[in-house]
Structure 1
Amino acid sequence: MAPARTPLDDLRREIDQIDDAIHDLLMRRAAVVERIGAAKGNGAAEAGAAPIFLRPAREATILRRLMARHAGTFPAQVVVRIWREMITAFTRMQGPFAVAVYAPEERRGFWDVARDHFGGFVPMTAVNTPAAALRAVSEGTATVAVVPYPAEDDADPWWRFLVSADAGRPQVVARLPFGGRGNARGENRDALAIAAVPHEPTGDDRTLLSIEIGGDLSRGRLKDSLEACGLPPVSFCTWHPAGHAIGMSGGGPSVHLVEVADFVAHADPRLARLTERTGDIPVRVTVVGGYAVPLALG
């Protein structure tokens, strides 16, 4: 005689049914992603361009929408982690995807941050310098580079390699971690993801500007000019190259990386107004990317 079914048995059966439903939806989502990948490929072929499968702005929008509707006791950070695994897996279904991470032996925490964001099964390669990670993206051996968030005391800043007029150049596309810091090792310094994909708005964004100055313009005056042009600066990093900045003239050259609290497109008219405000001092402004503001999770 079979043992009597208990309330616990009924609950476990309900869990099994929920698991089956989740699995069915995952397979359904995968089928939709396959159609999206095919549509992107067809559209790119018609335009004579390579398809773009990585969409960091779209990913951020998905996660923000989910967090806005999330309720109950299940940890929000775990929801983000589950979806991050899914997002990268579905992206890899559409085309090649690999990550180059600045993670020398003494700074393995960046590897953990990259793994948490891009998933535990994406191909990842550790490199010893940020420049090597950027080079992997430029050469096509990696889709994304993960490098340290810039610091004022960086003697040889990696971000100077992003200053280019090439429309297809790699640029900043995300800030990590996006959904809260997990159990990454080492220092708690954030990272930036770099990829050769478009800089797109999400509604709550930061933009990184490279501002090359060929003369004597103080940081305070530059800050005032940015604010007057509607480009509120959040942070500055400054690099003084050994020689003059490319294409610039005058004394005291410097290059500033300025984080602005807004989305700024490459052709944003505020950038032209900024160069006009500096008068005779030559200034060149380049958008080197940006990111969706990470989620504020406890």
Structure 2
Amino acid sequence: MHGQFSLMEKPDIQTPELSGIRQEIDSIDEQIVELLCARFAASEKVRLAKTSDLLTGAMPYRPGREAVILRRLVEVAAGQVPVAVIERVWRTVISASILAQADVRIVTIPEVMSDLRYRQATDLFASLLPVEKASSMKAALAALSDGEQVLVVVPMKLDWRSVLEQTPEGKPARVVAVLAAGSDKPGRSLAVLGHAASEPTGEDETLLVTTGKLPRDFVPKPIWHLKLADDVYLTSIPGYLDMSEQPLVSLKGNTGLGLRIAGRYPSAMELSKP
């Protein structure tokens, strides 16, 4: 129609005020790129400082340090930037930094790739890290024996206990991180299995595997329970705990529990809703 614009023909309104705002945005974008250049230059210094460790196949992924950084950035943003944006941008930057240090890869299973929430959580966690789909759970877990630079992502509810006995060079795999996958239910979370170094962050969980449930009066109160198989339970308790300290040391005498630590990792942050 004459004198009117269709939805595809809306004019680009230019006013002095809008033009100035766009110039400001362009300047900020350039500053972001300059800061990214500085960030990657600093990461290269880290890589060079860690050369000897990386040459021996060490895992550059550090879940504890990453959790501390992400929590701090969210606090700095103070709600002015959506948390999901901070998470996605930072995960992209950190995954690029990891790849610059080593050929880290992620292995998962068909169930994860076919489930929307699982896939979104895995894609966000991996970002630029390559994700491979193993043919089965057994094949995915077997990939951990390829070396330390492999992370396996599987549903927490599946039986992955065999990794606790896998000992490449005497070091068994553990749960090094947990992905909430858009739900606060433990049965909907994802376990990240690998040989990444574990370190306390101040907001951590210790994951226990037992043959039977913990005593009802156990302190601290567990965060969640999950039945993994017949008479086999996962229990997440708050804190970065060791078998040689309370409250776990008091359970050593209960041989029927078959108590083992399956992992110590930063508490998951539910940042992105699929």
> Which TM-score bucket, shorter chain as reference?
0.7 to 0.9
**Is 1:111 aligned to 2:110, yes or no?**
no
**Is 1:237 aligned to 2:227, yes or no?**
yes
Read off the aligned partner of 2:205 and give its amino acid letter. Answer: R
The normalised TM-score by structure 1 is: 0.74
Number of the residue aligned with 2:9: none
Number of the residue aligned with 2:36: 26
Q: 1:105 to 1:52 in 2, by over 3 A?
A: closer
Q: 1:198 to 1:269 in 2, by over 3 A?
A: farther
Number of the residue aligned with 1:161: 162
Q: 1:132 to 1:50 in 2, by over 3 A?
A: same
**Is 1:8 aligned to 2:26, yes or no?**
no
Q: Secondary structure at the match of 1:224?
A: coil
Number of the residue aligned with 1:191: 190
**Where does the alignment leave 5 or more consecutive residues of structure 1 unmatched?**
182-187, 213-217, 241-253
Instruction: Tell me by how many angstroms 1:201 deviates.
Output: 1.5
Q: 1:40 to 1:112 in 2, by over 3 A?
A: same
Q: Secondary structure at the match of 1:223?
A: coil
Instruction: Tell me by how many angstroms 1:107 deviates.
Output: 2.7
Instruction: Tell me by how many angstroms 1:146 deviates.
Output: 0.7
The normalised TM-score by structure 2 is: 0.79
Instruction: Tell me by how many angstroms 1:176 deviates.
Output: 1.2
Q: 1:81 to 1:41 in 2, by over 3 A?
A: same
Instruction: Tell me by how many angstroms 1:235 deviates.
Output: 1.0
**Superposed counterparts of 1:96-135, under 5 Å:** 96-104=103-111, 107-109=114-116, 110-119=118-127, 121-135=128-142
Number of the residue aligned with 1:294: 268
Q: Secondary structure at the match of 2:248?
A: helix
**Where does the alignment leave 5 or more consecutive residues of structure 2 unmatched?**
1-13
Read off the aligned partner of 1:140 and give its amino acid letter. Answer: G
- The one of 135, 143, 153 aligned to 2:150: 143
Aligned partners of 2:148 and 2:196 also within 8 Å: no
Number of the residue aligned with 2:238: 261
Measure, in 1, the Cα distance between the counterparts of 2:205 and 2:244: 16
Aligned partners of 1:174 and 1:292 also within 8 Å: yes
Read off the aligned partner of 1:235 and give its amino acid letter. Answer: H
Measured against aligned partners, the alpha-carbon deviations of 1:7-62 in whole angstroms (never above 9, x if no partner) come to 222211111111111101101110111111121224x38xx954331101111111
Q: Secondary structure at the match of 2:242?
A: coil
Percent identity for Structure 1 against Structure 2? 28
Measure, in 2, the Cα distance between the counterparts of 1:105 and 1:63: 25
Measure, in 1, the Cα distance between the counterparts of 2:124 and 2:265: 17
**Is 1:55 aligned to 2:70, yes or no?**
no
How large is the Cα RMSD of the aligned pairs? Answer: 3.0
Measure, in 2, the Cα distance between the counterparts of 1:272 and 1:41: 38
Q: Secondary structure at the match of 1:199?
A: coil
Q: 1:195 to 1:105 in 2, by over 3 A?
A: closer
Read off the aligned partner of 2:35 and give its amino acid letter. Answer: L
Number of the residue aligned with 2:11: none
Number of the residue aligned with 1:76: 83
Read off the aligned partner of 1:95 and give its amino acid letter. Answer: A
How many residues align? The count is: 253
Instruction: Tell me by how many angstroms 1:101 deviates.
Output: 1.5
Q: Secondary structure at the match of 2:48?
A: helix
Read off the aligned partner of 1:32 and give its amino acid letter. Answer: A
Aligned partners of 2:207 and 2:263 also within 8 Å: yes
Q: 1:258 to 1:273 in 2, by over 3 A?
A: same
Measured against aligned partners, the alpha-carbon deviations of 1:189-232 in whole angstroms (never above 9, x if no partner) come to 221111111222211111111224xxxxx63xx3236x15x574
Measure, in 2, the Cα distance between the counterparts of 1:72 and 1:10: 26
Q: 1:64 to 1:72 in 2, by over 3 A?
A: closer
Measure, in 2, the Cα distance between the counterparts of 1:142 and 1:282: 35
- The one of 84, 94, 107 aligned to 2:101: 94
Number of the residue aligned with 2:202: 203
Aligned partners of 2:62 and 2:198 also within 8 Å: no
